[in-house]
Structure 1
Amino acid sequence: MKILVVTGRLAEHIVEEAVSDAAFVKVVDVDVASFITERHLNGLDVSGYDLVLVPGLVSGDFSAVENKYGVPVRRGPKHAVDLGFVLSFADTVEFSHSVPACELLSSKNRKKAFETVAQLEAGSEYAFTVQNVRIGGNSRMKVMAEVVGADSFSEAGLDHIIRLFVHEGADIIDLGMSLDAQAEDAIRTVKIAKRVCNVPVSIDTFNPDLLAASLDEGVDLCLSLNSENMDAVAPLAVDVPCVILPDLKHDASVEANIRSLEKNIAAAKEYKIKHIIADPVLDAINHGFSKSVIRFVEFHRRNPDIPLFFGVGNVSELVDIDSTGVNGLLAGIGCEIGASILFTPEFSDKNKGSIRELKTASEMMILSKHRESAPKDLGIDLLRLKEKRRRPFDTHPPGFIPARALTRWELDPAGCVKISITERTMQNGEILDGMIIASHRNGVVMGRNASEVLDTLIERGFVSTLQHAGYLGRELARAELALN
């Protein structure tokens, strides 16, 4: 396919480097590439080409050029550095008149990725199911979301958080019981959870009375059993999947911990528990993390058919690193060691969003294994603040005006604007996304896009000075980032 890429003078060298020998480049009479219009192509004979790509950020209509020469004129990427990536799809993708090629490809790749995940899950082998959720085998790792202190919530509060967790992507809802919870508390929370959601519900406690009450109420999964509560609970849990733990602490040897876990699993099998999930226990960083990972690896080598419970939250809650990277990496480790369940609470503020992050990571990992490749270029990702392709840096101009802060601030005569955000929440049974709120004495503007909120403030006359507009632009951009 013979392709012509049209650009402006300022981007010439970047475009030529990005395109290499995959296309021809034509520089038209304009400095900024995004200012190219149909007029710039009027005198350009494109009849010898199969496709003409204009910059993704142009706003003009190029249909007249298409009609004159019979050659498609379509939007390329928004950034010249992405041209090489986009051109590699030219033979298989029909580019758009209105949507930049980078966005079009991203949308197509994302859709295909999710379709592949669904197909892989539908065709997967598995150890057993909890309701209709597949556990183990080569099925996707499932995300279990813990409601910490579930018994302390009101009915409305528990309803609210469970619906949010399911909306965020939880495959299983785990009800964490407080140390002072009573059997009636467990019964109440299980009843509410079973009524609210259509995903499996687990009970999370060592207290045999709470486990027994929850099992009687029809809980779908039991966390956790060891030698201390096995005799009291196991006879009641024959038909309910149970997570089994070792009795020893993390400071015991790897071999001793594994033998303890295998001993408890053998006891559970003697009680005829049909479906067992093993938890060798993941420890926090600098508290035996690497040693605990070795436990998982060795246990899985010895017991490849037993699904593994991987307590991601044991690590993510105890490290001050953005949860996106922590959860993505731990999901990758979990994938390699054979984990079937990725467990997380969203207990601390810094860990909000972990359910969604782990769900995405679990989808990335099943795609990665299917493709037998590293988890990159999959169509879905956990990149939130960085991009895959670096934008070119500029150079210092020979003459410039040094930046400096203003020494005095003048209030905008139009009035002040207070910026805040709402969190994702439930209202009348519907999920409401978080929003930016810009409050002015003459009205309140609400939206999710910082640019749109600022445009509306200016349009309504709520902003009248450049200084104020610049400040609001910065703060609104931070608010939009906080939403995501």
Structure 2
Amino acid sequence: MTQPNSILFVTGRLAAPALEPIVREIGERNQIATEVAVLGINVAALMHVDWVARKLEVPDHVQQVILPGWCQGDLEKLSKKWDVPVLRGPKDLRDLPRWFDKRDQEPPDLSKYDIEILAEINGAPLLKTEELLRLATSYAERGANFIDYGCLPGPVASQVGEHIRELRQAGFRVSIDSFDQQEVEAAVEAGAELILSANSSNLDWITKLETEVVAIPDDFQNLDTFDPILERLEKSGVPYRLDPILEPVGFGFAASLARYYETRRRWPNAEMMMGVGNITELAEVDSAGVNFILAALCQELGIRSVLTTEVINWARESVKEFDLARRMTHYAITEKQLPKHINAGLLSLRDPRVHQLTEEELYELTHQIRDPNYRIFANDDALHLINRDGHFQGNDPFQLFLEAAELGEITPSHAFYLGYELAQAETAKRLGKQYSQDEPLNWGHLTRSEKHLSLKPTFRKSPDSNTSNNSSDIE
């Protein structure tokens, strides 16, 4: 019996028995009317909007239609045809309850953060102004709040003042990373707002500059050596941030973490900074997870600024990674939620979930396809290449291509297309990522739009069909 204002879930014959109890549970839990429409197709993954428009009748009492996640085409066509909202659900019906609960929710607000990022340009005096500004712009676009001008040991760099004036005129906030008096004084005169770093060796002249400093202990192993430094800074009215110094793994890393905790205990209201590059740059491991853990530590300890850099190749995205991490940890802590299902931007090698067709679904799909266009799927056990001529499966994409080529003509553009897609499928299989034909792999915040449709062969009419739409060839 239908009810007014019902939500209609559309599926194929094969998935209907599994979908119906899920939809019933959704209706009961949310106290809404639900219906399931089973269309004349075995495998829902083969649906196309144009085919659905011809085959589905939507009753007047339906207020929303939800199609399978694999359904291809422009949903706006269906919304206009039936004058109801049409949504594409998840690609795996097992995700439907979670997707349904969140379909109308705004995503978590990750606009807020309270940790500043100082992005260091190493060897800055050696760079031309154009390159300096290019790097600063890149850092700022990926989340940096300060551009840290990193000087070099040795002779005084005479171009410090000029460089920093250029950075300031371009709108960047700048810190100066040097112990040389002439370099620091030139930087401050040119507009630098923060000096890295101050200890007893340079307090005599640094306090006269009346500029905020990052204070470090004279002896990294002994926080008591902070006391005389802070006493002089406070007496001079110079603002400061405390940095007990994060040590690399194998050189006192755990003990240095304990010093950050102890520094916060001793000076509960002091501003603090952490130089995270000693871990991200000096440990041969992908930096995203490292940056998240360090951001979480900073968030919980109230460390409100970090110094990072992007010198080594595996840390080349550290600024953006820390930007995402500081937003996620801020949200998790302020909202008292686990940092899970908030944002997948830091998941690059793995995907949050991977859904694959079952053997039964692949079998049904193989026997339903009647056109020459290839469908590609990646499962844990094998790659699958399917069209009307057969079901080719295996772990060697080159072998799959050769087997397919033996049974049917493949044009050069089609060969290129299949090679590209099989390479993506193989990559997804190897890394444990979701592969969806004609869609880019998800690399988290590194994902880029891949518009190669100009090389994608269009659906061709099969000899025994009067239509070029693949879904109509499989009923």
Instruction: Call closer, same or farther: CA 1:413–1:366 in 2, change over 3 Å.
Output: closer
Structure 2 residue 240 is the aligned partner of structure 1 residue 276: yes
Instruction: State the Cα deviation string for residues 428-462 of structure 1 (Å, max 9, x = none).
Output: xxxxxxxxxxxxxxxxxxx9544x33x334679xx
Aligned to 1:32: 43
**Runs of 5+ consecutive residues of structure 1 not aligned to the other structure:** 94-104, 118-138, 420-446, 461-484
Partner amino acid, structure 2, of 1:217: A
Structure 2 gaps of 5+ residues are 28-33, 367-390, 420-446, 459-475
Q: Can you list the C-alpha shifts for 1:252-277, whole angstroms capped at 9, x where unaligned?
A: 3xxx2x2112332222222221x110
Give the structure-2-normalised TM-score. 0.70
Deviations 1:135-187 (A, max 9, x none): xxxx6101110000100101111121111111121101100001124152322
**Counterpart residue type for residue 80 of structure 1:** L
Q: Is the 8 A contact 1:282 1:289 kept in 2?
A: yes
Among candidates 280, 288, 297, match of residue 252 of structure 2 = 288
Q: Give the equivalent residue in structure 1 for 2:25.
A: 21
Q: Secondary structure at the match of 1:342?
A: strand
1:73 CA drift (Å): 4.1
| Letter in structure 2 aligned against 1:349 | N
Kindly state the Cα deviation for residue 278 of structure 1 after the two structures are TM-superposed. 0.3
Task: For 1:124-143, list aligned pairs within 5 A.
Answer: 140-143=114-117
Which residue of structure 2 lines up, in the alignment, with residue 51 of structure 1? 64
Contact 2:116 2:306 in 1 (8 A): yes
After superposition, the Cα gap between the structure-2 partners of 1:209 and 1:72, relative to the gap in structure 1 and judged at 3 Å, is closer
Please identify, of 50-59 and 336-345, the stretch whose mean Cα deviation from structure 2 is larger: 50-59
- Structure 1 position 374 matched with structure 2 position 334: no
Structure 2: how far apart are the matches of 1:393 and 1:262? 64
Residues 201, 221 of structure 1: 8 Å contact kept: yes
Query: Quick check: 1:279–1:309 contact (8 Å CA) kept in 2?
Result: yes
Decide whether aligned partners of structure 1 residues 311 and 15 sit closer, same or farther in structure 2, where only a CA change above 3 A counts: farther
> Aligned partners of 2:292 and 2:17: how far apart in 1?
37
Q: 1:213 aligns with which of 186, 191, 201?
A: 186
The structure with the larger Rg is 2
Which position in structure 1 is the counterpart of 2:434? none
Note the C-alpha offset of 1:63: 4.5
Superposition pairs for residues 112-123 of structure 1, below 5 Å?
Answer: 112-114=109-111, 117=112
Matched, 1:262 2:227: yes
Separation of aligned partners in 1, 2:192 and 2:85: 59
* Equivalent residues in 2 for 1:50-449, closer than 5 Å: 50-58=63-71, 59=73, 61-63=77-79, 66=82, 72-89=85-102, 93=104, 108-109=106-107, 112-114=109-111, 117=112, 140-196=114-170, 198-236=171-209, 238=210, 240-249=211-220, 252=221, 256=222, 258-273=223-238, 275-378=239-342, 381-392=345-356, 394-395=358-359, 403=394, 405=396, 449=449
Contact 2:91 2:355 in 1 (8 A): no
Question: 1:10–1:312: structure 2 CA closer, same or farther, 3 Å change rule?
Answer: farther
% identity of equivalent residues: 26
RMSD: 3.4
The match for 1:430 is none
SS in structure 2 of the partner of residue 143 of structure 1 = strand
Shift in Å, 1:285 = 1.8
**How many residue pairs align between the two structures?**
375
The 8 Å contact of residues 146 and 174 in structure 1, kept in 2 or not, is answered as yes
Distance in 1 (CA, whole Å) between partners of 2:81 and 2:189 is 73
Are residues 263 and 448 of structure 1, via their aligned partners in 2, closer, same or farther at CA, if it must alter by over 3 Å? same
SS in structure 2 at match of 1:146: strand
> Given the superposition, is the C-alpha separation of residues 307 and 150 from structure 1 closer, same or farther in structure 2, using an over 3 Å criterion?
same
In structure 2, the residue corresponding to 1:286 is in which secondary structure?
coil
- The residue number in structure 1 matching 2:467 is none
Counterpart amino acid of 2:217? P
